[in-house]
Structure 1
């Protein structure tokens, strides 16, 4: 891994930063970001697809080409944007989010601020800056910069509106063997902490759409998404799939740090779902 510190600690403390200092990103940090993106292993998702990530430098939110990038007033003083590119299908979006979130956590370790954005930015302005191939789109971006020491009142108010610090409890998210049995933390065995990292992960509007079912032998963890009907219909893609990629990233990185060996597979166990909004995504198999 590229991480030098405890990634579990990094995941636990990370917050979205919307207001940045005016200083530019240091040359050493720019070099480390470029080195990270030049390593193919950092761009490969859990099911083998390679993602595409680009950096756009900005001055007063204007690119070198003179294009003004739109974020609807949510972001102040960004020094650059990191932009993801993906095809618009279920697994491409999940894998993109996995690799993108891993980069977000790496930047957090470097004490560079980030803010996951899937809907609150003007895609057309970013598409003018980046050439997309047929079938590609921009599912998500993050501004980057050094966090302002005293976050604006607006930032705190926005966190309150989206209930960013109000996470659901285990019995609303995690299950044992079937969706009929809630999973208690003390029952999760060695996967308890990775599952807790899923619970603490960021999600669009803090909807926390992930639902996990841990098998009776505690060796396999099935990941499901519970869709919020019509949540992102106007955007033309299922933005909550980003949340699933983020959840899988948090889980995998925690397993790596704890030296829990395993990997991702798509093997639907065909469990009975409690409602029609729940859909299987993938499973982690412990070796």
Structure 2
């Protein structure tokens, strides 16, 4: 399969794949994956930190018999996994997810299916395959494989269960200058497509916890997280922070493709959200 060069097109079309073909990943694709994982620049996040991602083939520890995915069904016929490691700190998790999502988009361009798994999976089996360093843990993994041609009925049923195709509207997610005024596509100007890519991004249980506020001069976009109370408390880390890294990745990659220059800064504008569960994360500023 030829590579789709437009990342915006890739982000628009990507879906979580839970049912894979029985054929193994080709040597050519495995070589491309290994080459990607050897490039240090692929593991530099938006705050200058680095992450680690491992390629783990299916074996006796990491079974191909079906990995339970929480209450959403099973992963069928995975041929390998990408496994990432991070420390359990707010910005480390955000940055980790940014790096990990960038890798999943690369795989999508190769025609390889992925599915974020951050909840119920056997972390011990993966820990036996990689070397954890210091305070690292495994926030999430993704199975890898070629999408099965006849997967559609099975995966559509699962997508219905997790409401994967039920994305929130702009007026529920994005704001103009303050949290009191909804942002429209027309008023977003050049940032319409990058902001739309945030809306289309994957998130845990499709909660879409990101909230964006675009400044009046259209030069700064503030990223907030609206926490779902007690959503992942049993896991020992805030899984929704991963969603923010995904949102940042989708936004920035779209900006780069559209040649809109900008950079990330942590500079809280102290906007009043009116929601006690809403927390400032980062701002994207045009220029530089």
Aligned mates of 2:95, 2:283 — CA distance in 1: 13
Provide, for residues 79-117 of structure 1, a one-character-per-residue CA deviation record: whole Å limited to 9, x for no partner.
100001000010010001001101100100000010011
**Contact 1:71 1:120 (C-alpha < 8 Å) held by counterparts:** no
Aligned equivalents of 1:187, 1:150: Cα separation in 2:
42
SS at match of 1:160: helix
Q: Does 1:246 align with 2:242?
A: no
Partner of 1:164: 164
How far did residue 150 of structure 1 move? 1.2
Residue 12 of structure 1 is matched in structure 2 by 12
Equivalent in the alignment of 1:71:
67
> In structure 2, what is the Cα distance between the partners aligned to 1:44 and 1:230?
30
The answer (yes or no) to whether the contact 1:21–1:77 under 8 Å persists in 2 is yes
Match of 1:269 in 2: 269
- TM-score of the superposed pair, with normalisation by structure 2: 0.94
- Give the deviation of 1:280 after TM superposition: 0.6
Secondary structure of residue in 2 paired with 1:5: coil
Please state how far the C-alpha of 1:4 moved relative to its aligned partner. 5.7
Equivalent residue number for residue 155 of structure 2 = 155
How many residues align? The count is 280
Partner-residue secondary structure (3-state), 2:84: strand
Alignment check: 8 A CA contact 1:102 1:249 kept? yes
Distance 1:38 1:114 in 2: 20
- Which residue in the other structure is 1:109 paired with? 109
Question: Which position in structure 1 is the counterpart of 2:129?
Answer: 129
- Distance, in Å, in 2 between the alignment partners of 1:128 and 1:71 is 16
Residue pair 2:4, 2:10 contacting (<8 A) in 1 also: no
Question: For residue 183 of structure 2, what is the aligned residue in structure 1?
Answer: 183
Aligned-CA RMSD value: 1.4
Contact (CA 8 Å) 2:67, 2:76: kept in 1 or not?
no
SS in 2 for 1:188: helix
1:16–1:4 Cα change, 3 Å? closer
Give the aligned partner of residue 229 of structure 2: 229
Q: Where does structure 1 differ by over 3 angstroms across 4 or more consecutive aligned residues?
A: 67-70
Residue equivalent to 1:29: 29
Distance 1:154 1:204 in 2: 19
Q: Which residue of 2 aligns with 1:43?
A: 43
Q: 1:266 deviation in Å? A: 0.5
Q: CA deviation at 1:68?
A: 4.2
Q: Give, in angstroms, the shift of residue 123 of structure 1.
A: 1.4
Q: Point out where structure 2 has 5 or more consecutive residues left out of the alignment.
A: none
Question: How far off is 1:39 after superposition?
Answer: 1.1
Deviation of 1:128 after TM superposition, in Å, equals 2.4
The alpha-carbon deviation at position 47 of structure 1 amounts to: 0.4
Task: Work out the CA distance in 1 between the residues paired with 2:22 and 2:157.
Answer: 22
C-alpha displacement of 1:120 = 2.8
Partner of 1:195: 195
